[in-house]
Structure 1
Amino acid sequence: MLSICIPHFNYENTSLLSELKTQCQSLNLNFEILIIDDASESNKKKYLQAFEKKPFRVIYLEKNIGRSAIRNLLSKEAIFDLLLFLDADGKIENDNFIKTYLNNFNEDIVSGGRAYADLKPDKNHFLHWNYGFNIESKSQSFFHSNNFIIKKNVFDILKFEEQIKNYGYEDVVFGLEAKKLGISMTSIDNKVIQDDLKNNQQFLNDVNQALDNLLKIIDIKDELQIVDFVGISRKYKALERLGLNSLLSIRNHKITDSLKNSLILNPKQNSNLLLSVYKLYKYHQLKKL
């Protein structure tokens, strides 16, 4: 019936695992909860020892293989024909989370989305929350790899692109590849709460990594025309057409550093606008390397 597939890396989350077990058992499902740890630090994976018995199955990797490859490995190791992929840092508040998926599985791929808590965090974690709450959680029409259900035979046709090893836009590639292959996708309101907020510095590090990853993806997956699908690359392309992208070279490093310091040290409600400007400057900077 159902294999719940969880890629795990350096985050302890016993409540997620316990909630999934409780919901599946209440529905009398044939299921497994498969966790593959991608070479976490010892103190961040020790708690998984308590989940090394049925219905759980834990696999420990000695070497980190990356975000795409670990999801492909989860599918390979899964024993049931229906796969539910969940990130390890999520929180489930819907008591009918599993039931909602099973009752609404009418396409090849169904994604449930991500949400952020209504309560504002402290200043040091505001940047991630503000972007997630006001931007990311509102874009549920796009595929997100943190929370989706798919038939195993469909996943085996599609798979994640293993050339993409680092963080950023791997879910965009997956979604566009699905569209290219004629695989049907939809999104429903079955959100997982983002339980792990990065501090402002960590969040911007992720932004930088994602932009670098995006440039690599555009290069290796040119046929998908990702440059026209992702907001930041589409905006940059528009500036290029107008001959205005060269303006981003003027005092680029100084402006980028100034925006970075402002976002880290003094994030405010308008941080998402500043973040968009920062991304344009950083994207230009990385593109010229």
Structure 2
Amino acid sequence: MELSICIPIFNFDVRELIAGLKKEIETNGIDAEIILIDDASDLSFNQMNASLQDNVQHLIFLEENIGRSKIRNLFLQYARGKYLLFLDCDVKIDSEKFLQNYLSNIKQRPDIELIYGNFKIATQYAATLRNRYSVEREIFSGAQSTDFSLFKTVNFIIKKNIFEKFPFNEEMTDYGYEDFIFAKLLELNKVKFLAINNPVIHFDDTTNGVFLRKAEIGMNSLFKLSESGQNNVFIKDIKVYKVAMKLRQLKLSSLFLFAYGIFEDSIKKNLLSEHPHMKCFDFYKLGVLIRKMK
């Protein structure tokens, strides 16, 4: 088996995504299997996706939610492929040659152990804070790159033996930074990386208010990581953490929090508006993190 397509599901209808993948697999005779693991979704989504049972190699419904890191590692128990392609459930295929693009790059560069494929934003959600952040801070341009900092878990392919050696950190049970820590672990261990523009379309309808709450959870996850010195090698390059530590070293944390408190309501008002500004989001995250550090 050349390729195992691994899709963790949570509260999303993946039938269109699977149809697109199946069409390419069958049209081109690709040696691939599709594995779906549902992380305790609501019953309505389970019922929708249950119809895929006969169209995929495995469809597993978990009774309890185990989180973003642990569920990805769980695919190792089922996958037979030499390569594992991980896709978020809230995406759709953008090209009829999506899988072939990955496989041709693998054929050309068999030394590459991890390829990140990038993503696009569905136009109907492009104006939200979450997706404006993706466009300005996460989506890369250009045909290829070897910059490991570009990596996101939404769409990537990895050699199975590498993933067995370097799985996701299952101690990270809350939202935030599991992809960054995973990428840093691989980079530190000199895993050969390539980013190519082979995107999926991301359908993320997260509201601004929900994304702010997720950002706060993410800052809490980062704070927990910072409490252990052994994690410094993984988090030292995270921009918000670097700024927070610099303010702390200069004994300016209290002054920053005083200023942040004055503008906090205005910052939140902007971030909840139809025209959120990324600089406001940067200050919001920094304020949340420094408060936790205090």
Same fold flag (TM > 0.5): yes
Q: Is the 8 A contact 1:35 1:58 kept in 2?
A: yes
Q: Is the 8 A contact 2:115 2:157 kept in 1?
A: yes
Give a deviation string over 1:248-280, Cα, whole Å, max 9, x none: 33165564344223311x2426x1111111111
Aligned counterparts of 2:125 and 2:82: Cα–Cα separation in 1? 40
Aligned to 1:115: 120
Q: Percent identity?
A: 31
Q: Is the 8 A contact 1:131 1:272 kept in 2?
A: yes
Aligned counterparts of 1:56 and 1:221: Cα–Cα separation in 2? 42
The 10-residue stretch of structure 1 (5-14 or 234-243) with the greater mean CA deviation from structure 2: 234-243
Aligned counterparts of 1:190 and 1:220: Cα–Cα separation in 2? 37
Q: Is the 8 A contact 1:32 1:54 kept in 2?
A: no
Aligned to 2:132: 130
Aligned to 2:269: 261
Aligned to 1:188: 196
Aligned counterparts of 1:121 and 1:61: Cα–Cα separation in 2? 29
Q: Is the 8 A contact 1:113 1:189 kept in 2?
A: yes
Residues 116-265 of structure 1 mapped to structure 2, 5 A cutoff: 116-117=121-122, 119=123, 121=125, 126-138=128-140, 141=147, 142-220=150-228, 222-250=230-258, 255-264=263-272
In the TM superposition, residue 43 of structure 1 has moved relative to its aligned partner by 0.9
3-state SS of the aligned residue for 1:52? helix
In the TM superposition, residue 72 of structure 1 has moved relative to its aligned partner by 0.3
4+ residue runs over 6 A deviation: none
Q: Is the 8 A contact 2:185 2:234 kept in 1?
A: no
Residues 12-91 of structure 1 mapped to structure 2, 5 A cutoff: 12-91=13-92
5+ residue gaps, structure 2: none
Aligned counterparts of 2:26 and 2:232: Cα–Cα separation in 1? 41
Aligned counterparts of 1:64 and 1:260: Cα–Cα separation in 2? 30
3-state SS of the aligned residue for 2:7? strand
Provide TM-score, normalisation by structure 2.
Answer: 0.89
| Structure 1 pair 150–285 and aligned structure 2 pair: CA distance change class (3 A) | same
Provide TM-score, normalisation by structure 1.
Answer: 0.91
Amino acid at match of 1:116: I
| Structure 1 pair 154–227 and aligned structure 2 pair: CA distance change class (3 A) | closer
Aligned counterparts of 1:72 and 1:54: Cα–Cα separation in 2? 23
Give a deviation string over 1:142-178, Cα, whole Å, max 9, x none: 2111111111111100000000112111011111111
3-state SS of the aligned residue for 1:3? strand
Aligned counterparts of 1:220 and 1:65: Cα–Cα separation in 2? 23
Amino acid at match of 1:278: Y
Aligned to 1:274: 280
In the TM superposition, residue 54 of structure 1 has moved relative to its aligned partner by 4.0
Q: Is the 8 A contact 2:169 2:178 kept in 1?
A: yes
3-state SS of the aligned residue for 1:115? strand
Please tell me the root mean square deviation across aligned C-alpha atoms, in Å.
Answer: 2.0
| Structure 1 pair 223–129 and aligned structure 2 pair: CA distance change class (3 A) | closer
Q: Is the 8 A contact 1:256 1:282 kept in 2?
A: no
Q: Is the 8 A contact 1:252 1:285 kept in 2?
A: no
Aligned counterparts of 1:191 and 1:50: Cα–Cα separation in 2? 26
Q: Is the 8 A contact 1:110 1:188 kept in 2?
A: yes
Aligned residues: 283
Aligned counterparts of 2:177 and 2:103: Cα–Cα separation in 1? 27
Aligned to 2:292: 286
In the TM superposition, residue 128 of structure 1 has moved relative to its aligned partner by 1.6
3-state SS of the aligned residue for 1:135? helix
3-state SS of the aligned residue for 2:227? helix
3-state SS of the aligned residue for 2:290? helix
3-state SS of the aligned residue for 1:11? coil
Q: Is the 8 A contact 2:125 2:204 kept in 1?
A: no
5+ residue gaps, structure 1: none
